[in-house]
Structure 1
């Protein structure tokens, strides 16, 4: 089982950092891909975040584990490997490492589907016992720098901890819900929203009349998903409004 330092050291060589080449403290968006791995939807969104004056950090959870993307996607998308709770240690380790960097004034955690699952699972943990987040020395201090959560069509189905556990950490959250989502069906997503709001989580929603992965170029090759540029524009505008309140 990794320590925070070990997990960070494993992940960092496979992290992509984007933004102004200066040392000025800036709000930093940390992006966690879906079960399909890093695609153009992730890199384009990171570029958009940079255009807003933020830094962006794209985290690859597959490469450090030595599993090729195609096999990793098959295993993760089917829930056979690297479930949200296991991957939540990646989120905590990146926060831990970034909290030691003066150019990071605060962070927004952004997750797509499986990546959002990992972020949400992290929110349910006390981080006071060895083994939580699959780390030997978890601590909650890195979460103090988190200004908000941006969750794109998060997986809120079977095995997701947020279905029956309260969030121990509550920060402003924006959840993007797709009406035609086949993985996180609208009814399940709405149930998750109501549960989190009842717990006191400050949660905004953006509802789009689209499918899962509507922001992924080439999604049309799958019969149950479709790229929707109008919804992409809607979500980008909502994200800009969301992060504006956290910029320093």
Structure 2
């Protein structure tokens, strides 16, 4: 059974963590979508970075509302058994739709940011017209919330099979910055390079930051598996600097 936009947002809303000034002034907002291992400390750190700039940030947890803890996320989502990017793209759309209705959010100035699986979900959403029931696994999708999306920030996005950006162009073209890891084992750098170059050729204003590091390089966690996912402080710092610059530039254009 498909969710409505409202039902999906109602499911997510209790598990969305808000950052930013404690007022009701309408401010630009960044929505952050975590990787397949769930919300980790570094995602909250990026959100706090946005708040320190005077904007709003919202960390959207896709797993706790579904009753999944870290173990379930690793065994179900990271293995591809549940919640592919296309299905989770409904979370992204619902979060934009619901948060844009809050008086403290400037609905015309929104950035969506995704890490790994979160990037997959965002990129899948970009391929959908959202005019047909069932798209994004929602009963009533609509492209209306996408009008306020001024930027997309992607960090080691998963664009291997079955990500839709392999075979579908984007229906929307917000300014995009993608951070790629040259040693990424989940999506080879050469493949990600090919996909992003194709999107750029089709008119997506695509910026790139290519770093000599692995997947999940910005997560300082014991969950990493040796050389395949190793923390790299320098690459992390470069990504945070790029994130801050992207947020500042994107929202300044909305003034």
TM category, shorter: over 0.9
In the alignment, is the contact (CA less than 8 A) between 2:175 and 2:204 conserved in 1? yes
For 2:121, the equivalent position in structure 1 comes to 118
Contact 1:35–1:76 (8 Å) recurs in 2: yes
- 1:135 partnered with 2:129: no
Task: Please list every run of 5 or more consecutive structure 2 residues that lacks an aligned counterpart in the other structure.
Answer: none
- TM-score by length of structure 2 reads 0.94
The question of 1:212 aligning with 2:215 is answered yes
Q: Distance in 2 between matches of 1:132 and 1:218?
A: 35
Give distance in 1, aligned partners of 2:168 and 2:103: 34
Q: How does 1:1-248 map to 2 (within 5 A)?
A: 1-105=2-106, 106-218=109-221, 221-223=224-226, 224-247=228-251, 248=255
Aligned residues: 248
How many Å separate the matches in 1 of 2:16 and 2:70?
15
How big is the shift at 1:246?
2.5
Post-superposition Cα deviations, 1:167-199, rounded to whole Å, max 9, x if no partner, equal 011110000000111112111110111111111
Task: Decide whether the 8 Å contact of 2:179 with 2:210 is kept in 1.
Answer: yes
**CA displacement at 1:220 relative to structure 2:** 7.3
1:115-151 C-alpha deviation (Å, 9 max, x unpaired): 0000000000010111000000000000011110000
Q: Distance in 1 between matches of 2:249 and 2:189?
A: 28
- The answer (yes or no) to whether the contact 1:177–1:205 under 8 Å persists in 2 is yes
Runs of 4+ with >3 A deviation: none
Structure 1 position 219, deviation (Å)? 5.4
Scaled by the length of structure 1, the TM-score of the pair is: 0.97
Gaps of 5+ in 1: none
SS in 1 for 2:24: coil
